[in-house]
Chain A
Amino acid sequence: MVPVFFSYFSLVSILAGVLTVALPNPVHCGLALLTLLLHVAGLFLLLNAEFLFVIQIIVYAGAIVVLYLFVLMLLNLKTDERVLHHRYAVILVAAAAICGGLLLMALRSPFQGAKGHAPVEAVLQDGGSYAIGITIFNEYLLQFEIVGVFLLGAIIGAIVLAKTPTAVDVEPE
């Protein structure tokens, strides 16, 4: 069963990823991105990482892509306003390089990468959320806190940007 699901999730993920950058209508691109994220969540499920599966859906699908779609729908972008950047060759090279690097790392990991301290049996016994909690709050506590400070900064920045100026005075007729 697992290989069937795996091939479904991974193939649809790749397809949705391509469509995300290839579709003409921005709202459709957003929906393709949503499909991509949901299928990646499915891959997590196959790895017995239920917690990550749910968090992926809640955070990415439930919050981030919704906001993307908000903006896209409000702006009501036209479909024919796509232009190729005139230096796209340079960007293409950079993008290809980054992709190649990532691919290399991804292909190497099953053979040489870190295996982690949570074997499948332990995860199954206590649940993915337990394993993740222990890992984050023990081993990676400092990193976790640093991320927290970054997010705090982002929130403050958002408040400063979004703070409405005092009501625009209405000039008398």
Chain B
Amino acid sequence: MHPVLETLNSRFPEAVLSVHEDQARSEISACVAADRIVDVARFLHDDPTTAFDHITDICSADYPDDAERFEVIYHLLSLPHHTRIRLKARVTEDDASIASVTGIWKGANFLEREVYDLMGIRFTGHPDLRRILMPEDYDEGYPLRKDFPTEGRGWRSRFEFLPNMDDKEGGPPHGEVPEAQRQVFSSDAGSVSSPYRKEELLLNMGPQHPSTHGVIRVVLALDGERIVKATPDLGYLHRGVEKLAEGLAYMQIIPHTDRLDYVCSMTNNYAYVRAVEKLLNIQIPERAQYIRTLVAEMQRIIGHLFWLGTQAMDIGAMTVFFWTFREREVLLDLFEKLCGARLTLNYYRFGGVDSDFTPDLVSRVNAFLDTFPDRVREYDELLKSNRIWLARTRNVAVISGDDAINFGLTGPVLRGSGVAYDVRKLEPYDAYDKVEWEVPIGKNGDTYDRYWVRMEEMRQSCRIIRQCLAQMPDGPLVADVPQVTPPSKQKVMRDMESLIHHFIIFTQGFKPPKGETYCATEAPKGELGFFLISDGSPRPYRMKIRSPSFVHMGAFDHMARGYLISDIITIFGTYDVVMGECDR
């Protein structure tokens, strides 16, 4: 048995109800009594032999037929030991509450709010248990419960905060804020603790604002120009992808993942198909592995180019934006050649990829790689030694390595703080262990370091792509697993049995074995994880998307406090959030 499970069993004989080790997928999980969850979690976090310092995800599943209906699932990661564990705790419908672990991992704040919002499980001791993705006045239940219809129950917001223009009588005078609402904006006159006059001002930023990168609203409490508290208000782009997925066959979900992080949709496809492949235990042919790796790295370059352009434009360097889009255009043209689409690509398939990487594409990618390092140097020349850029990014939005881990941050944001955690190195998949590359890490955890990390990652991506192109063998593009992969188009057109096979796969879907698995992939923004529960039917029983943007927004307040209002746009930029992924 896995040593961590042994430790748990011996340490908490009565709290740990059962343990499970999944040899095939090398995953471990433990069922814990709901009332002891905090003790177990604290032990796992504090004990040096376990040291699960990173909270990856918290999600929930609904089993309406069971006595204890809801299951709260914690995914933990130990960075020192490189192990993952899944803790599960059951609660009943009558008393759907469990103790909060926000005291152990600060990142649990947003994750628990999401569980509360979508599944209705209360977390006792949570500092700010409100709805997060759904509107705050949403009152028809909890959407992820199995008895909630996918199309909803027809609720519409009444928008009580908007003045009603038709109602002339008794309403506030035109253009004036009524006295009751004014109170919200004025500071509490009773608490004069500081000898200096201190007034807090509430400033609403968004949902429509040029530099919020999508539709998000942040309420800033200001002391002068300094930010005292920043409260992100998410959910403007919530589409209920997780709920939708429960009604779709596995293959039908791939195009939906395109719409998560629409800036780099390939990586979402990638993360999803990898999770399903892990569930099915499929081996990928070698050529497909290389193609997947190199396409994912091309997508990473696009993601980082997009980030660089928008961040620089927010800070006022307009030219960088146009230059990065020039290079992005070249890559998008390549994607168009590769799979016919430019933005929502839908390219990855279970067991392989959709179409081949032709010699023409190889030469075009090579031509791009010849010029791209010079282009990156060009951006660097405009920004890296520019004193204004340094003044705007150095020591802005600093987050220490320990805090970053505690908040569950991943990707360049975590590496900028000096933590060398990269899923591609830690749990290498496809061709990442067959090529040489390095993980760039920063020192101070400020905006400049994250800038540097991403610039360096673009260079490393170039290295990976170059090696992939050189090493790519010939071979099939899709694994030969007849239960899952459809036959090739040529066969379908000529062969009766193949046509039937094709028909079966696309009408009924395939049936993965009963089980559950979490699979993490390194997206440009951080760790993009898919957690799948299969009940043996062709549709996932529960699919949870662990999106880096959402987890990163949980640390927004921590990162923004004490900085100036003008820094808010820098902080938005340095996170590289995409709201399509954050709100799902």
Contacts and interface: CB of A to CB of B under 8 A. Distances in A.
A165 B228 contact: no
Interface centre among A165, A167, A170 (most CB of B within 10 A): A170
B194 A168 contact: yes
A170 B561 contact: yes
A173 interface: yes
Majority-rule SS of B interface residues: loop
Interface in B158-204: 194, 196, 198
Majority-rule SS of A interface residues: loop
A168 B199 CA distance: 11
B140 to A, nearest CB: 31
Interface in B202-235: 223, 226, 228-229
Interface residues of A, number: 5
Contact of A168 (B127, B223, B229, B561): B223
B196 A173 contact: no
Contacts of A170: 228, 561-562
B362 to A, nearest CB: 55
A173 B226 CA distance: 17
Contacts of A167: 226, 562
Contacts of A173: 127, 229
A170 B194 CA distance: 11
B562 A168 contact: no
Nearest to B228: A170
Contacts of B562: 167, 170
Contacts of B198: 168
Given A170-B228, A170-B561, A170-B562, A165 B127 contact: no
Nearest to A173: B127
A165 B561 CA distance: 18
A168 B561 CA distance: 12
Contacts of A165: 196
Interface string A45-61: 00000000000000000
A64 B226 CA distance: 28
Nearest to A165: B196
Nearest to A166: B196
Interface string B121-135: 000000100000000
Interface in A126-173: 165, 167-168, 170, 173
A170 B561 CA distance: 9
Nearest to B127: A173
B491 to A, nearest CB: 63
Contacts of A168: 194, 196, 198, 223, 226
Interface of B: 127, 194, 196, 198, 223, 226, 228-229, 561-562
Interface of A: 165, 167-168, 170, 173
Given A168-B223, A170-B562, A173-B127, 10 more contacts: A165-B196, A167-B226, A167-B562, A168-B194, A168-B196, A168-B198, A168-B226, A170-B228, A170-B561, A173-B229
